[in-house]
Structures are given as structure tokens and as C-alpha cells.
Amino acid sequence: MDKSFHIENRQDLYKNFEEGTILLLFAGNPIRMSADAFYSFYTNRNFLYLTGLSGSNTKGFIFMAQLKKTGPEEKIYILPPDMLAERWDGIRLKEDEVKELSGIENISFIENFEKDFHAAMNSGAYHTVGLDLFKLKPGESDDVAHSFIKYIDYNYPFMKTLNLYPQIRRQRTIKKPCEVEAMRKAIEITGQAIEAMMKAAKPGIYEYELRACFDDVLARDRVFMPGFPPIISVGENNFSIHYDGRMGRAEDGDMVLNDVGARYDEVGCDVSRGWPVNGKFSEKQALLYQAAYNTSEHMFKIIKPGMPMKDVDRLAKEYVYEELKEIGLCQSWEDVNKYIWHGGAHHVGYDTHDVVEAQGEIRPGMIFCVDVGIYCQEWGIGFRLEDNCLVTEDGCENLSRDIPRTIEEIERVMAK
């Protein structure tokens, strides 16, 4: 993304808070895995959205904006040069690089943050500190922001605090043109990887071999981290929705379940396809796949601005029910939950389940998945058909429509 994107995101954020407010966002710190080993560092997505800074050389970074009468005063706190540390952990971002990526001119080192923050707290010019205080569920360990709010409460009890997360979520709901273009590129790469897996699939192949095909295509496009851990399963493993194994071996007659997405310019997509490992749909596989395909096509015809977002799940499930009833699997509405195990839509972008304001009506510029999963254990068939939907002014566009998705297209690719 060009730095103008991140500058605009910050300007939109500032409009929603009063003069006398300080906004703080943290890139985050590495999480220890075991002994002296750490998980790969992953920059907080809201920090990235506002600053354009990400990657292993942003760990510990802090963004501070002081909202003054004369306008916002922005500063990024970064790690100082350290020859020994950089020898082990990699070259750190320099001040001019941070300025170029973020559009923020005022750069300081982390060691100065506490002093600067203390001076601001005691200046009498500020009454509120805003932080990104998201937690997925109660009881989660505190991240940097949650730890810091305790620091504020203890040391500056006169200072009010607020949560920036709802406003950032609102801003991330509607994708800007540069985000849409990055999504298109991510989908193009994902499609190449899916086709490579389709062509490689054959009875006897292991899940890890299909994963290697996926990784190879992404690497050739200089995508070294997918949008999320790929879900690539065969046979009975298809009945674990977020399966994370790799050792399954495909038997003749199995289906491959493939739920993957590349990341391009930090924007990730999420596409699912299912196909028979032997290249030909059996009669039962074709019945279920066609039911999912018909449902997906129906949804892309009816999604448009003004539709309640909650209706995407509901209407998809109702359509699948009618399809399954037609082929004799469902006798009544109560039967549908036996075959439909998850919702039919989630937003995508900087996060795979993107941080957005998902309630209310669908609006132009939203991008979310239309995800139709059918899991028929009695037939030993489980898969999902998932595409990325861009809402337009008068309807929607299936961004991943060119990735083989009909029975005929899949069989044609697998025959090559």
C-alpha cells in the first residue's frame, strides 16, 4: 500500500476523537513458545492499518498521536540501531524507512517513550488516552495495550481511557480501491495454487504433498506467509472444520477439502474448493457439490446493498436445505443442521475473519466470503465452496469466480 492509504486511515480516525486525547497503538511483542524459542512475530493488524509498518523488524514499535488544537502530532517509537542484536535477529528499520512507509515524520526510540508519555500526562493538555483494547473472549492473557491501561490507571488515575477498537473496526468495514486491488492479486495467486493442487491430486497422495504444491506457488510469487494456516484435508479429515494436520493419505474415491488464501500487500483472501482425488465426481459427490454450487450462484445473484448482513447466512442455509431436500437427504428443516455445520459468510481483508462492523446492512465496498459447506458423514463426503464477494453499487462481484468451481471446470483441470 502507498503511505497515502495509511495517512488517510489516521486522518479518518482523528475525526472521531476530541482535542486533548492521546491515541496509542502497539505493534506487539513476540510470544515465547518454549525454552528460549519464540513464535514468529506477527504485527498487530490495526497498528499496520494505521502506520503501514509490519514484519519482524517492527516488534516493540509504538504509535502515539496527540490531538491538539493545532492538529494531531504523530510519533513512532522504534528500536534503536544495535549491531549485536541485528546480527542475531535481522536488520532493524531505520528512521528514514519508517518515514517513507508511514508518512510520519517524527521518529524516536523506544527508550524515550516513557519519558515523553509522562510529560504529556502531566502537561495538563490531555484528559483521555485511547488504546486498542480488543479481546476475543474473557480470560485471554493481556496484550501490550491491556497491560498498559493498568499502568495508566495506577500511575495516572485522573486520566480517562477509551477503546479505539470500535472506531477502527468501523473504518475497516469498507475497503478502499487499493485494498480491492490487493485482494484481486491475492486471489489470482490463490487460484494458481489451487489449480496446481488439483493437477497434482491422485489416489495415494498425502496432505503434506498438496500443501507443498500450495507453498511452492506462493513462494514463486514472493508470498512467504499465507493469509491463514492452510486447511488441506482428505477423506475423514474433511469432517474437522479447522483441520490442521498434514499426514492424511488420499484413497481412491476421497474428496480433497481445500480452504486456503494467499496474502498480497498484507491483504488476504479466503477461497475453498472441493474435488475428487481421482479427478471424477462420483454420483453422490456430484449431487452434493451441485447443491453447494447452486446455492453459491443463487447468493451471488441476490446479494446487494441494503440487504441485512445476517440474511446472507440465513438465506444460504435455506437454499441449501431445499437442495438437500430435493436429493432426499433432508425430510424437514430440523435435518439441515446434520449437514450444515458453520455459517455462510465472514468478512476478509487484513484479517481472515476481518475486524469490521458486521451488523446492519450490506454496503458497497464490503468484501466477505460466501461459504457453502456440506458435510455428509453417512456418504463420507465433506467439502466447502467458498468465494470472496465484493459488494458493488447495485449488486456484487464474485472476485474468485475464475478459480475452477463447476464440476466440469474442475474435472477439466484435473484431466490435464
What's the confidence (pLDDT) of residue 359? 86
What's the confidence (pLDDT) of residue 260? 98
Rounded to whole angstroms, the Cα distance separating 348 from 337 reads 25
- 131: phi then psi, degrees, rounded to nearest 5: -135, 160
What's the confidence (pLDDT) of residue 71? 95
Rounded to whole angstroms, the Cα distance separating 117 from 81 reads 22
pTM, whole model, 2 decimals?
Answer: 0.95
What's the confidence (pLDDT) of residue 200? 98
The residue written with cell numbers 509498518 in the block is 53
What's the confidence (pLDDT) of residue 106? 98
Weakly modelled stretches of the chain, pLDDT under 70: none
Side-chain half-sphere exposure of 132, counting CA atoms within 13 A = 22
Average pLDDT over the chain reads 97
Closest to 383 in 3D by CA, of 288, 312, 283, 314: 288
Domains and CATH numbers, the chain: 3-172 (3.40.350.10), 174-414 (3.90.230.10)
Residue 258's CB is within 10 A of a number of other CB atoms, namely: 26
What's the confidence (pLDDT) of residue 341? 97
Closest to 338 in 3D by CA, of 390, 370, 379, 300: 379
21-41 pLDDT tens trace: 999 999 999 999 999 999 999
What's the confidence (pLDDT) of residue 358? 84
The residue written with cell numbers 496446481 in the block is 196
Rounded to whole angstroms, the Cα distance separating 264 from 335 reads 40
What's the confidence (pLDDT) of residue 416? 82
Q: In this structure, what C-alpha cell is assigned to residue 334?
A: 430440523
